[in-house]
Amino acid sequence: MKSFYMLTIFLLLSFTNKLHANQPLVELLVKTASFDSSLLALYFKNQEGWHTYWKNPGSAGLSFDPSFTLNNQAVTLPALEWPLPKRYLKNQYEWSYGYEGVYGIYFKLPSLSATQTPLMIKVRWLACKETCVPGESLVQGSIQEGKFTYHDPTTPAFSITSKQEESNLQNIPDESILPDNLNVQIIIDEQERLYLYSQVELKSRQHLLSQEHDLLLPFPHPLFTFGLEEVTYDQDKNILLSKRALMWEGDFQTPPLKLPLNGIFSPALQLKFLYANPFTAETRVITSSIPQISSSSSSSSNSMITTAPEAATTAKKSTSLWVALLFAFLGGFILNFMPCVLPVISLKFFALMQQRSQLTQGQATHLGIQSTIIKSNLAYIAGVLATMLLLALAVIILKQGGEAIGWGFHLQSPLFVFALTLLLFLFALSLLGLYEFSTPGGKLLSVAEGHGNSHTLQEFFNGILATVLATPCSAPFLGTALTYAFTAPFSHTILLFLTIGVGLALPFIIIIPFPGALSLLPKPGAWMNSLKKFFGVLLLLTTLWPLSILFALTNSKTLLLLVATLMLATTLFFYFKNALYLRRPLYWSFTLLLLLSSISLGTAIAKHVNTSDQVVNRVDSELAWSEALMAKLQQEKRLSFIYFTAKWCLTCKTNERLVLMSKEFHDLIKEQQLLMVKADWTRKDPEISKWLAKAGYAGVPAYFVINKKGQLVNLGEMITVKRVANAIKGQDQP
């Protein structure tokens, strides 16, 4: 499941935006094998030039994901070894393993009765050429007396001969013992980076190693991510040497597995490979037992072994709870000044100004107004803290379930973003005076307009709204606190989230014991309506932000057009609401239509991400980030700038506009021949989430430079062109 989400999101963000709808890129044929009726065969036929992926897809790709329902029950069918894959090497940063043309995968069927047994197969794949297109197929049929029959006899798109089946069978590698002349090790170098080394002693000066295959191709392993294999020939020793970077993934298992400090695995690691015999050109499946990590000649075997990125600073790792709480409080307070939160905070101040006017003009008793102020603020504070508590509990539950998440994770849900878009839009229309927006507690603007006292439940929901709008933002101090919160014990996580809430609600906490502070606010008047409309326009423009996020998550112009149409229809409805209200049936019909349209569109958006065959443009001037790519760049000591971003992250977009899009930064790129690497976290991507966690971050933004020494320099969450230049020159050390 981890690999599925990681690679699906990564690839959907990595390729050009074309749809191939005329002819299926991959066709699927299901039958029982002609040579063994106890085997269910899934044969695939790719269009010419297109390939699909092996179990280990490489640096980018997506393996097959078959699921079976036998006799109306989900079952797992054991598979034979898959056919030998081909290696596709685009460049030193992009490689994959997969198949072209016609090939088949075989699954062992359980013992079945002689009666007809229904069988449903669902397979997902990714087909790639210059672009990549995900696809899936659902086949329904039944098995009787060793033969699979389609329910729809017209479903099979192609046929396969017995000769083709035999050829496919011969391409399936056999298992073999580890050859005596093959040595496999895991080695840690002086920079505490892990590598998989292997060497083959040759019997002659010639070998038959194909350029289309690796010497030693690893099967997927839950504890490792594998880099690209580099094979060299040592003429003096007459040996082939294979080397590939390793990334430890044990920290993200359930429960977490730490890399042993003494380098000894107990029990020994069992790594499975496809071994391309350089003498016979035959490939066999072998298993190597690795009891320990070996050190290079200049490193001690007892030295501390760490797989956290070198950019993870000591300060972040050693942050105490009290420091984290202080940072959480300060960061929460700064969130009050973020663009999305300001309209809600401003309306809250409008309400307080109205209460201040009543207090000074004697419209109610002094104690009565003070009591109203206290109740109003307490309800708002309770809304903020309740939302923060729910977020903390959601983080705990998701992390317990093995999910890799970070700050703002809910904005990776298209359904949530759609709801947020509509909420902001309705809020903006209300500020512009088209109607009075009502939360479950009452009219949101009633106090600001002098229509009544503050409602407790209304203020509670205002606090919820302010908190939700604050979550896309990062702020100074907040990053360190969140990093601690996302890695701390559950009780500390809850405490830190609540402290952020206290900081966010601080202006209104202060007013409770000091109601006299209201006298510092300006007197209410006609200017408030003008300011309210200004905030309405500002919020209307802000609505474009979640719309852009929604498009990034769904990549569907059609859905975006439907959302815009719904928003236009809503605007017209409120504009003509008085005229419509005179004709009650028409008024309620339009109301029901808008409500049903919103629900239907939300349902379509939720489903679209899972079923869409969209592909997204690859940025020509940037490389798409992967952990293997970063290790490769460090190994080559290639000057690189790596930035982690998301379309819903306002801080990210501000940094990109002020720094990354500046002329000075582009001049720096040209001058230093700086390679740009982008990690886009707009959609859920466990690989990015896990790497950020290892680097000491709970979310984005995050910025790094690989300098000329191959060191990864952490630039933090806020950058300047000067800081980047200093890091490149080695003046800002990791």
Torsion from C-alpha of 550, 551, 556, 562, nearest 10 degrees: 60
pLDDT exceeds cutoff 50 at 107 = yes
Per-residue pLDDT band at 502 (split at 50, 70, 90): very high
Cα–Cα distance for residue pair 202/241, rounded to 1 Å: 11
CA–CA distance from 104 to each of 161, 367, 616 (Å)? 12, 81, 29
Q: Is-contact 197 184, C-beta < 8 A?
A: yes
pLDDT of residue 477: 66
Per-residue three-class SS string for 514-566: CHHHHHHCCCCCCHHHHHHHHHHHHHHHHCHHHHHHHHHHHCCHHHHHHHHHH
DSSP bridge pairs for 136: 124
pLDDT exceeds cutoff 80 at 109 = yes
Q: In the 8-state DSSP scheme, what is residue 251?
A: G
Helix-helix angle 527-542:414-431, to 10 degrees: 160
Share of the chain above pLDDT 70, in %: 73
DSSP bridge pairs for 231: 242
Q: List, as one string, the DSSP characters of 62-107.
A: -B---EEEETTEEE---BPPPPPPEEEEEETTEEEEEE-SEEEEEE
pLDDT exceeds cutoff 60 at 412 = yes
Per-residue pLDDT band at 446 (split at 50, 70, 90): very low
Tokens standing for residue 521: 């606010």
Residues 6+ apart with CB under 8 A from 293: 186, 187, 188, 194, 259, 260, 263, 264, 265, 305
Average pLDDT over residues 291-308: 47
Pairing of strands 264-276, 67-70: unpaired
Summarize pLDDT for 323-351 with one digit per residue, the tens: 888 888 988 888 877 765 666 676 667 66
Tokens standing for residue 216: 């030693």
pLDDT exceeds cutoff 80 at 19 = no
Closest of 442, 445, 423 to residue 433, by C-alpha:
445
Summarize pLDDT for 368-383 with one digit per residue, the tens: 667 777 888 898 899 9
pLDDT exceeds cutoff 90 at 394 = no
Q: Is the dihedral of CA 626, 627, 631, 634 positive or negative?
A: positive
pLDDT exceeds cutoff 60 at 13 = no
Cα–Cα distance for residue pair 47/49, rounded to 1 Å: 6
Q: Which residue has the higher pLDDT, 699 or 317?
A: 699
Average pLDDT over residues 709-722: 85
CATH number of 182-295: 2.60.40
Q: Is the dihedral of CA 698, 700, 701, 707 positive or negative?
A: positive
Q: Is-contact 481 324, C-beta < 8 A?
A: yes
Which range has highest mean pLDDT (4-18, 393-407, 535-549)?
535-549
Question: Exposed e or buried b for every residue in 440-479, given b needs 16+ CB within 10 A?
Answer: ebbbbbbbbbeeebbbbebbbbbbbbbbbbbbbbbbebbb
Average pLDDT over residues 29-51: 90
Q: Which residue has the higher pLDDT, 516 or 238?
A: 238
Q: Which residue has the higher pLDDT, 500 or 1?
A: 500
pLDDT exceeds cutoff 60 at 647 = yes
pLDDT of residue 453: 45
The three-state secondary structure class of 652 is: helix
What are phi and psi for residue 585, nearest 5 degrees? -60, -40
Q: Which residue has the higher pLDDT, 259 or 577?
A: 259
Per-residue pLDDT band at 449 (split at 50, 70, 90): very low
Per-residue pLDDT band at 312 (split at 50, 70, 90): very low
Per-residue pLDDT band at 5 (split at 50, 70, 90): very low
Average pLDDT over residues 532-543: 76
Average pLDDT over residues 317-325: 70
Summarize pLDDT for 660-695 with one digit per residue, the tens: 888 889 889 988 889 999 998 887 777 888 788 777
Tokens standing for residue 85: 């894959």
pLDDT exceeds cutoff 60 at 574 = yes
Residues 6+ apart with CB under 8 A from 34: 162, 165
Which range has highest mean pLDDT (8-12, 53-57, 691-695)?
53-57
623-729: what fold?
A: Glutaredoxin (3.40.30)
Tokens standing for residue 108: 């062992």
Q: CATH 2.60.40.1250: which residues of the chain?
A: 2-171
pLDDT of residue 271: 93
Q: Which residue has the higher pLDDT, 681 or 399?
A: 681
Tokens standing for residue 360: 């000074």
Cα–Cα distance for residue pair 279/215, rounded to 1 Å: 11
Burial class of residue 63, CB neighbours in 10 A (0-12, 13-18, 19+) = buried
Cis amide prior to 255 (ω within 30 degrees)? yes
Average pLDDT over residues 111-117: 78
Summarize pLDDT for 136-170 with one digit per residue, the tens: 889 998 888 878 888 876 666 788 888 888 888 88
pLDDT of residue 250: 84
Cα–Cα distance for residue pair 511/577, rounded to 1 Å: 39
Average pLDDT over residues 51-64: 87
2-171: what fold?
A: Immunoglobulin-like (2.60.40)
Q: CATH 3.40.30.10: which residues of the chain?
A: 623-729
Cα–Cα distance for residue pair 209/241, rounded to 1 Å: 12
pLDDT of residue 699: 76
The three-state secondary structure class of 150 is: strand
